[in-house]
Amino acid sequence: MDLALTPNNPDYTILVADRDGTGGIVGYVCYGATPMTEGTYDLYWIASDPTVRGQGVGASLISGMEGDMRRRGARIIRVETSATEAYGPTRGFYASMKYKEESRFRDFYKVGDDLIVLAKRL
């Protein structure tokens, strides 16, 4: 995350959501162009404060990110996540934002924990 916050870093873009302009970050998304591709971007991290989950913060961050990517000529957004039960709500969130499973690498993180690659075409 420190690298992503380095001023003028061309590899990462970060959007933040604040608490109604009163200060305090309630969420962020970090993304960037995928090296050696044309028009493909990676969504690296998205997080929101648990006190605002279900209030549209994540959806607003994704919407802002996708708008920025469209302006940059993005074709595909790629996201990696875990197949464990703990990541079920995360996968549900991405599904609600129209991200679809493109591939699965079995036992990637550890035995029984697959890497799932999701994607959305813009």
- Report CA-CA distances (Å) from 27 to 20, 34, 102: 12, 23, 26
Q: Token match 């959305």: residue?
A: 120
Query: pLDDT per position in the chain (122 positions), as tens?
Result: 566 666 777 789 999 998 877 778 899 999 999 999 999 999 999 999 998 888 999 999 999 999 999 999 999 999 999 999 999 999 999 999 999 999 999 999 999 999 999 999 99
Q: Which residues contact 44 (CB under 8 A, 6 or more apart)?
A: 4, 12, 30, 31, 32
Residue 20 near residue 54, CB atoms below 8 Å = no
Q: What is the CATH number of domain 3-121?
A: 3.40.630.30
> Quick one: which of 85, 32, 92, 86 has its CA closest to 59?
92
User: Which residues have C-beta within 8 Å of that of residue 11, sequence separation ≥ 6?
Assistant: 3, 4, 32, 33
Asked whether 83 and 110 are in contact (CB, 8 A), the reply is no
